[in-house]
């Protein structure tokens, strides 16, 4: 147990409060030998009793007495630690999977408190001496068996968001879901429709990044497969699920469209934008096939469908823009025939970070085909970028020797779309000819563009 937690328990004891426990992820991870997680506290004491904790070392914030919750902040050395406190209680939630319970009844019984929690591996309580209590009598056994099991038969029926949490914990920890819990999840999967899209998004993102949590292997693919088998993908991204069973050219693909998308996502590096782009890169294939009888043009259809899906899940516009740009560009140079000029133009269009992500998506696309084929174009792209950087080419528009203000002043034009068009042309020009990236040369070229067009 870390020194700051030991100190916290000492302060708690000196305040004369009833025994306090670290609950949930901390005792679970301690028993598994994994890195720490959020600091969640529980005890029979109501949050107003926490006022007995001495200041200035301890501060209380966000107290909600009706729910029995408070945020406790501890200053220890140069660090600040944050604990989420909840008094022992029984509760139930309404439809929608919100954080706020509909009804709360406080209790002094640790077992009653444990029965309101989601999974037995999270219903463990660590006391000040480091001893772990298992009020359900099943949590430690579930850890040993690497099982995710609901605490009661009503756990998943009360809050369908817990189904996604079930998948996430199994993916992050490399655990298996117990049979009864799995069947209950399948039977109540339609309850996801009642959950706010923001909360669905948050759990979905954690599943997509499952391997980054504790460094486990295959977590992302296992999580995505569980979502598919449960029928949850149809609730999260319906257009993606349409690829299930849609066969592809066997020369290039061992999987149908959906399975290929899941495999590609799992092959992608642990960057959310890249993983989302890999997952959604072929989302336009079912629509393209339905509308034209072919899959040509699925990249642009896919970009539009991806934007709709990300908007539905309440992703921020910046993330959506980056993902959709990659989906729309993922067919670029598929046959590895694009020349240097075309690659440089793509670098200018996307910028360095997005261009490198596109290379990662290309490799994930090939990796997820199941054919073991390399993606030589990605290596070519990275080499072109490296050469440009060695030549001090302005990879970003910010590296140009001129900016929008310079263009408006020298060309006597007002703010507007034309300024951006000229800057884009100057950027492409300086990428091709890095030696021309000077104020004098670029302004001269800008005047030519403004008068005669981009030559």
pLDDT tens-place string over residues 188-203: 999 999 999 999 999 9
Quick one: 431 and 359 in the same domain?
Answer: no
Task: Compute the C-alpha angle 314/318/319, nearest 5°.
Answer: 65
Quick one: 137 and 188 in the same domain?
Answer: no
State pLDDT tens for residues 143-182.
999 999 999 998 998 889 999 999 999 999 999 999 999 9
Quick one: 228 and 241 in the same domain?
Answer: no
Quick one: 311 and 284 in the same domain?
Answer: yes
Q: Would the pLDDT of 454 be above 70?
A: no
Quick one: 38 and 156 in the same domain?
Answer: no
Segment 296-324 mean pLDDT:
96
Q: Would the pLDDT of 88 be above 90?
A: yes
State pLDDT tens for residues 45-75.
988 888 888 778 888 887 777 788 889 999 8
State pLDDT tens for residues 391-420.
999 998 899 999 999 999 999 999 999 999
Residue 455: the pLDDT is: 54
Q: Would the pLDDT of 94 be above 70?
A: no
Segment 310-333 mean pLDDT:
97
Q: Would the pLDDT of 41 be above 70?
A: yes
Q: Would the pLDDT of 100 be above 70?
A: no
User: Which span out of 22-36, 222-236, 418-432 was modeled with the highest average pLDDT?
Assistant: 222-236
Higher per-residue pLDDT: 157 or 251: 157
Q: Would the pLDDT of 450 be above 90?
A: no
Quick one: 88 and 158 in the same domain?
Answer: no
Q: 69 has which bridge partners?
A: 64, 86
Q: How confident is the model at residue 105 (pLDDT cuts 50, 70, 90)?
A: confident
Q: Would the pTM of this model clear 0.75, i.e. be above it?
A: yes
Quick one: 137 and 12 in the same domain?
Answer: yes
Three-state SS annotation for the chain: CCHHHHHHHHHHHHCCCCCCEEECHHHHHHHHCCCCCCEEEEECCCHHHHHHCCCCCEEEEEEECCCCEEEEEEEECCEEEEEEEEECEEEECCCCCCCCCCEEEECCCHHHHHHCCCEHHHCCEECCCCCEECCCCCHHHHHHCCEECECCCCHHHHCCHHHHHHHHHHHHHCCEECHHHHHHHHHCHHHHHHCCHHHHHHHHHHHHCHHHHHCCCCHHHHHHHHHHHHCCHHHHCHHHHCCCCCCCCCCCCCCCHHHHHHHHHHHCCCCHHHHHHHHHCCCCHHHHHHHHCCCCCHHHHHHHHHHHHHHHCCCCHHHHHHHHHHHHHCCCCCCCCCCHHHHHHHHHHHCHHHHHHHHHHHHHHHHCCCCCCCCHHHHHHHHHHHHHHHCCCCCCHHHCCCCHHHHHHHHCCCCCHHHHHHHHHHHHHHHHCHHHCCHHHHHHHHHHHHHHCCC
Segment 205-211 mean pLDDT:
97
Quick one: 230 and 243 in the same domain?
Answer: no
Please provide the average confidence, as pLDDT, over all residues in the chain: 91
Cis peptide before 56 (omega within 30 of 0): yes
Question: What CATH number does the domain containing 215 carry?
Answer: 1.10.110.30
Quick one: 267 and 205 in the same domain?
Answer: no
Residue 95: the pLDDT is: 59
Closest CA to 93 of 218, 224, 191: 191
State pLDDT tens for residues 209-224.
999 988 778 999 999 9
Instruction: Give the count of domains, the chain.
Output: 4
Last residue of a domain, one of 236, 262, 297: 236
Residue 57: the pLDDT is: 86
Residue carrying the six token digits 């096939």: 289
Residue 217: the pLDDT is: 83
Instruction: List CB contacts of 450: < 8 A, sequence separation 6 or more.
Output: 411, 413, 418, 422
Return d(Cα 183, Cα 161) in angstroms, integer. 16
User: Which span out of 8-22, 26-40, 300-314 was modeled with the highest average pLDDT?
Assistant: 300-314
Return d(Cα 67, Cα 88) in angstroms, integer. 10
Q: Which domain holds residue 220?
A: 149-236
C-alpha separations of 346 from 220, 272, 381, 383, 437 in Å: 30, 21, 9, 14, 19
Question: What CATH number does the domain containing 277 carry?
Answer: 1.10.3210
Quick one: 415 and 377 in the same domain?
Answer: no
State pLDDT tens for residues 345-398.
999 899 999 999 999 999 999 999 988 888 899 999 999 999 999 999 999 889
Residue 275: the pLDDT is: 98
Segment 445-452 mean pLDDT:
90
Last residue of a domain, one of 236, 258, 286: 236
Angle between helices 161-173 and 197-208 (to 10 degrees): 10
Last residue of a domain, one of 168, 202, 236: 236
């Amino acid at each position: 147990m870390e020194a700051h937690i030991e100190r916290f328990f000492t302060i708690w004891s000196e305040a004369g409060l009833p025994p306090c426990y670290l609950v949930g992820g901390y005792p679970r991870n301690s028993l598994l030998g994994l890195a720490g997680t959020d600091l969640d506290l529980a005890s029979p004491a109501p949050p107003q009793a926490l006022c007995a904790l001495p200041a200035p070392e301890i501060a209380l914030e966000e107290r909600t007495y009706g729910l029995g919750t408070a945020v406790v902040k501890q200053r220890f050395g140069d660090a600040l630690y944050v604990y989420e406190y909840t008094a022992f209680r029984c509760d139930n939630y309404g439809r929608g999977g919100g954080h706020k319970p509909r009804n709360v009844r406080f209790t002094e019984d640790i077992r009653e408190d444990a029965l309101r929690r989601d999974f037995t591996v999270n219903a463990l309580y660590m006391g000040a001496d480091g001893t772990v209590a298992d009020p359900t009598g099943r949590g430690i056994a579930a850890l040993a068996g690497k099982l995710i099991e609901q605490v009661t038969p009503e756990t998943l029926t009360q809050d369908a968001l817990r189904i996604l949490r079930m998948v996430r914990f199994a993916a992050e920890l490399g655990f298996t879901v117990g049979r009864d819990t799995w069947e209950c999840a399948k039977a109540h999967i339609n309850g996801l429709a009642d959950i706010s899209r923001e909360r669905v998004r948050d759990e979905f993102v954690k599943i997509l990044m499952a391997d980054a949590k504790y460094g486990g292997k295959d977590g992302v693919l296992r999580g995505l497969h569980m979502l598919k088998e449960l029928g949850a993908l149809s609730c999260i991204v319906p257009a993606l699920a349409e690829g299930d069973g849609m066969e592809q050219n066997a020369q290039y693909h061992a999987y149908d469209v959906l399975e290929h998308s899941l495999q590609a996502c799992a092959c992608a590096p642990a960057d959310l934008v890249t993983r989302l782009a890999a997952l959604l890169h072929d989302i336009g294939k079912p629509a393209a096939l339905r509308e034209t009888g072919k899959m040509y043009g699925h990249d642009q259809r896919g970009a539009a469908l991806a934007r709709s899906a990300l908007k539905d899940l309440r992703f921020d516009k910046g993330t959506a823009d980056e993902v959709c740009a990659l989906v729309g560009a993922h067919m670029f140079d598929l046959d590895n025939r694009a020349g240097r000029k075309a690659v440089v133009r793509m670098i200018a269009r996307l910028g360095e970070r997005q261009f490198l992500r596109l290379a990662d998506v290309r490799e994930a696309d090939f990796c997820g085909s199941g054919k073991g084929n390399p993606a030589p174009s990605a290596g070519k792209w990275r080499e072109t970028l490296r050469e440009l950087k060695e030549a001090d080419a302005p990879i970003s528009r910010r590296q140009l020797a001129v900016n929008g203000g310079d263009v408006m002043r020298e060309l006597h034009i007002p703010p507007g779309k034309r300024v951006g068009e000229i800057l884009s042309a100057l950027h492409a020009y300086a990428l091709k000819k890095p030696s021309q990236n000077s104020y004098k040369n670029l302004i001269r070229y800008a005047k030519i563009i403004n008068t005669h067009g981009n030559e």
